[in-house]
Protein backbone atom coordinates (compact mmCIF):
# COMPACT_ATOMS: atom_id res chain seq x y z
CA UNK A 1 0.00 0.00 0.00
CA UNK A 2 1.36 3.40 -0.97
CA UNK A 3 1.33 6.43 1.32
CA UNK A 4 1.11 9.73 -0.55
CA UNK A 5 1.50 13.12 1.15
CA UNK A 6 2.26 16.73 0.32
CA UNK A 7 5.79 16.77 1.74
CA UNK A 8 6.38 20.47 1.01
CA UNK A 9 3.30 22.69 1.00
CA UNK A 10 2.97 25.89 -1.01
CA UNK A 11 3.03 29.19 0.86
CA UNK A 12 -0.23 30.41 2.39
CA UNK A 13 0.30 33.83 0.73
CA UNK A 14 1.81 34.57 -2.67
CA UNK A 15 2.28 37.39 -5.15
CA UNK A 16 0.82 37.01 -8.64
CA UNK A 17 3.19 35.63 -11.27
CA UNK A 18 5.91 34.99 -8.66
CA UNK A 19 7.29 31.49 -8.10
CA UNK A 20 5.67 29.68 -5.19
CA UNK A 21 8.31 29.24 -2.52
CA UNK A 22 8.84 26.84 -1.01
CA UNK A 23 8.16 24.72 -4.09
CA UNK A 24 5.43 22.08 -3.87
CA UNK A 25 6.72 18.52 -3.41
CA UNK A 26 4.62 15.35 -3.21
CA UNK A 27 6.12 12.22 -1.64
CA UNK A 28 5.00 8.65 -2.28
CA UNK A 29 6.30 5.93 0.03
CA UNK A 30 5.58 2.22 -0.03
CA UNK A 31 6.41 -0.90 1.91
CA UNK A 32 7.42 -2.40 -1.43
CA UNK A 33 9.89 -1.17 -4.02
CA UNK A 34 8.43 1.76 -5.95
CA UNK A 35 11.04 1.58 -8.70
CA UNK A 36 9.89 -1.69 -10.27
CA UNK A 37 10.74 -1.96 -13.98
CA UNK A 38 8.02 -0.79 -16.31
CA UNK A 39 6.02 1.16 -13.71
CA UNK A 40 5.84 4.89 -14.40
CA UNK A 41 4.52 7.43 -11.89
CA UNK A 42 3.61 11.06 -12.50
CA UNK A 43 1.71 13.86 -10.76
CA UNK A 44 -0.37 16.73 -12.11
CA UNK A 45 -1.25 20.01 -10.40
CA UNK A 46 -4.37 22.11 -10.93
CA UNK A 47 -5.61 25.25 -9.21
CA UNK A 48 -9.09 25.18 -7.67
CA UNK A 49 -11.53 27.89 -6.68
CA UNK A 50 -12.27 26.78 -3.09
CA UNK A 51 -15.76 28.31 -3.08
CA UNK A 52 -16.93 26.14 -5.98
CA UNK A 53 -14.30 23.40 -6.23
CA UNK A 54 -14.03 24.17 -9.96
CA UNK A 55 -10.67 24.17 -11.72
CA UNK A 56 -9.38 27.74 -12.17
CA UNK A 57 -8.41 27.24 -15.82
CA UNK A 58 -5.26 28.94 -17.07
CA UNK A 59 -4.27 30.50 -13.74
CA UNK A 60 -1.63 28.00 -12.60
CA UNK A 61 1.52 28.75 -14.57
CA UNK A 62 4.68 26.68 -14.91
CA UNK A 63 5.23 22.95 -15.20
CA UNK A 64 1.98 21.35 -14.03
CA UNK A 65 2.90 17.70 -14.65
CA UNK A 66 6.02 15.99 -13.38
CA UNK A 67 7.54 12.54 -13.38
CA UNK A 68 8.56 10.93 -10.12
CA UNK A 69 12.19 10.95 -8.99
CA UNK A 70 13.36 7.94 -6.99
CA UNK A 71 14.91 8.91 -3.64
CA UNK A 72 15.41 5.32 -2.49
CA UNK A 73 13.89 1.89 -3.13
CA UNK A 74 10.62 2.78 -1.38
CA UNK A 75 10.28 6.56 -1.90
CA UNK A 76 9.51 8.69 -4.94
CA UNK A 77 9.07 12.47 -4.98
CA UNK A 78 7.32 14.75 -7.44
CA UNK A 79 8.57 18.36 -7.40
CA UNK A 80 6.96 21.47 -8.89
CA UNK A 81 9.76 24.08 -8.75
CA UNK A 82 8.37 26.68 -11.17
CA UNK A 83 4.68 27.16 -10.34
CA UNK A 84 3.10 30.60 -10.05
CA UNK A 85 -0.46 31.90 -9.97
CA UNK A 86 -1.55 34.42 -12.60
CA UNK A 87 -4.40 36.28 -10.86
CA UNK A 88 -5.25 37.56 -7.37
CA UNK A 89 -7.69 35.52 -5.32
CA UNK A 90 -7.96 32.60 -2.93
CA UNK A 91 -7.20 29.16 -4.28
CA UNK A 92 -6.30 25.62 -3.33
CA UNK A 93 -4.13 23.31 -5.38
CA UNK A 94 -5.09 19.73 -6.20
CA UNK A 95 -2.31 17.24 -6.84
CA UNK A 96 -3.24 14.02 -8.64
CA UNK A 97 -0.75 11.12 -8.50
CA UNK A 98 -0.98 8.49 -11.25
CA UNK A 99 0.69 5.19 -12.01
CA UNK A 100 1.06 3.48 -15.37
CA UNK A 101 1.55 -0.25 -14.98
CA UNK A 102 3.02 -2.70 -17.50
CA UNK A 103 0.53 -5.04 -19.16
CA UNK A 104 -2.38 -2.83 -18.05
CA UNK A 105 -4.85 -1.70 -20.68
CA UNK A 106 -6.33 0.93 -18.36
CA UNK A 107 -3.79 3.66 -19.12
CA UNK A 108 -2.99 5.88 -16.14
CA UNK A 109 -4.48 4.83 -12.80
CA UNK A 110 -5.24 7.50 -10.19
CA UNK A 111 -3.37 6.56 -7.00
CA UNK A 112 -4.06 9.61 -4.83
CA UNK A 113 -5.69 13.03 -4.95
CA UNK A 114 -4.37 15.61 -2.49
CA UNK A 115 -5.44 19.19 -1.82
CA UNK A 116 -3.44 22.02 -0.24
CA UNK A 117 -4.63 24.59 2.24
CA UNK A 118 -5.85 27.90 0.82
CA UNK A 119 -3.31 30.09 -0.96
CA UNK A 120 -4.15 33.82 -0.85
CA UNK A 121 -2.72 35.59 -3.89
CA UNK A 122 -2.38 39.34 -4.30
CA UNK A 123 -0.65 41.77 -6.65
CA UNK A 124 1.66 43.23 -3.99
CA UNK A 125 4.81 41.73 -2.52
CA UNK A 126 4.46 39.25 0.35
CA UNK A 127 6.93 38.16 2.99
CA UNK A 128 8.77 35.00 2.05
CA UNK A 129 7.68 31.82 3.79
CA UNK A 130 10.44 29.54 5.01
CA UNK A 131 9.94 25.79 4.82
CA UNK A 132 9.56 23.87 8.07
CA UNK A 133 12.52 21.74 9.15
CA UNK A 134 10.90 18.58 7.72
CA UNK A 135 10.13 20.41 4.46
CA UNK A 136 13.71 21.72 4.29
CA UNK A 137 14.97 18.15 4.72
CA UNK A 138 12.81 16.94 1.79
CA UNK A 139 14.00 19.86 -0.36
CA UNK A 140 17.61 18.95 0.43
CA UNK A 141 17.00 15.27 -0.41
CA UNK A 142 15.40 16.35 -3.69
CA UNK A 143 18.37 18.56 -4.57
CA UNK A 144 20.77 15.73 -3.75
CA UNK A 145 18.76 13.46 -6.07
CA UNK A 146 19.25 15.97 -8.90
CA UNK A 147 15.85 17.67 -8.78
CA UNK A 148 16.30 21.26 -10.00
CA UNK A 149 14.90 23.34 -7.15
CA UNK A 150 15.73 26.91 -6.23
CA UNK A 151 19.09 27.31 -4.50
CA UNK A 152 19.33 27.37 -0.69
CA UNK A 153 18.75 30.80 0.83
Q: What is the CATH number of the domain that holds 132?
A: 2.60.40.3960
Please report which confidence band the pLDDT of residue 112 belongs to, taking 50, 70 and 90 as the band edges. Answer: very high
* pLDDT (tens digit per residue) in 41-84: 999 999 999 889 899 999 999 999 999 999 988 899 999 999 99
Question: Which residues, 6 or more positions from 148, have their beta carbon under 8 angstroms from its beta carbon?
Answer: 81
Q: Quick count: other Cβ atoms within 10 Å of Cβ 63?
A: 11
Q: What is the pLDDT of residue 153?
A: 47
- Does residue 34 carry a pLDDT above 70? no
Q: Is 46 a domain residue?
A: yes
The whole domain housing 48 covers 2-144
| Count of domains forming the chain | 1
Q: Is 150 a domain residue?
A: no
Q: Is 152 a domain residue?
A: no
**Spatial contact of 117 and 9, defined as CB atoms under 8 Å apart:** yes
Give the whole-number percent of the chain exceeding pLDDT 70. 93
Q: What is the pLDDT of residue 135?
A: 96
Coil vs helix vs strand at 90: strand
Amino acid sequence: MSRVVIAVRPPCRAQTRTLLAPPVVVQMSSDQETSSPGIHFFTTAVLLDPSSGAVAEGLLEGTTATTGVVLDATTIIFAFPDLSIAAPGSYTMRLDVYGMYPNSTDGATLIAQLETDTISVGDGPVASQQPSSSEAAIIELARNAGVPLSPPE
